[in-house]
Amino acid sequence: MEFQDEFEQILLTEEEINQKVKSLGVQLTEDYRDKNPLLVGVLRGCVTFMADLMREIEVPVELDFLSVASYGQSAFTSGVVRVLKDLSEDVDGRHVILIEDIVDSGLTLNYLINYLNGRNPASIATCVLLDKPYRREVDVKADYVGFEVPDKFLVGYGLDYAQKYRNLPYVATLKDNAIEEE
C-alpha cells in the first residue's frame, strides 16, 4: 500500500515485523510444548499479528477471540474497558496466551488478565506486538513483547485510527495534525 500524506514515518517495516514475529514464534514453540495453548486474540487489532504469529508456532494451538471497547473513535484512552464479544471456549484448565496489538496505559491488558483469571485457566501469558511503556496507569507487563515503541499514535499491521489503516503491512506513525482531539 502506498505511503500516505497523513503518515509521519514508517516505524517498522514489513521485514522487521516478520523477523520479530518469527522469533516470538520460536520462543512460544519452546515454552508451550505439550501444553496445547489457547491463543486468545483481542479483536480487532490482533488479527494481523495473530494470523502471522500462529503460523510460526510449531506446536498445536487452538484459537479464540474476544472483543473489548476501550477508546471508541478516539486516539486517547477513556480508561473504560468493556467486553463486547466474549470467548467461545471454556478456558478452565487451559494454558491461555492473550494476544494484543499494543499495550499503552495497560488498562485493557490488566482488565483482561483479571477477567480471564476469574475463569480458572491453568496459566495466562500475554503476548503483544508493541509496547508503549510511557503512559502506564496500571503496573502490567507483557510476557512476550515484539517491539518497544515511542509514545506516538501508530497505525498499520492491525492497528487503526478510526478503523482505518489496519491493512497496512507496516507500522507507521500518524502526524499529530491527522489526529482529532475530542
Stretches 9-17, 30-38, 97-105, 115-123: which one binds ligand IMP (CB under 6 A)?
97-105
Residue 74 binds which one of ligand IMP, Mg ion, none, with CB within 5 to 8 A depending on kind?
none
Residue 153 binds which one of ligand IMP, Mg ion, none, with CB within 5 to 8 A depending on kind?
ligand IMP
90 is known as an active-site residue: no
Cα–Cα distances (Å) from 71 to 25, 40, 161, in that order, read 29, 20, 10
Q: Does 45 bind ligand IMP (CB under 6 A)?
A: yes
Quote the CA–CA distance of 163 and 175 in Å, as a whole number. 16
Given 57, 100, 127, 131, the residue binding ligand IMP (CB under 6 A): 100
| Neighbour tally for 135: CB within 10 Å | 10
Q: Does 156 bind ligand IMP (CB under 6 A)?
A: no
The catalytically annotated residue of 52, 101, 104, 160 is: 104
| Neighbour tally for 118: CB within 10 Å | 9
Residues serving a catalytic function are 104
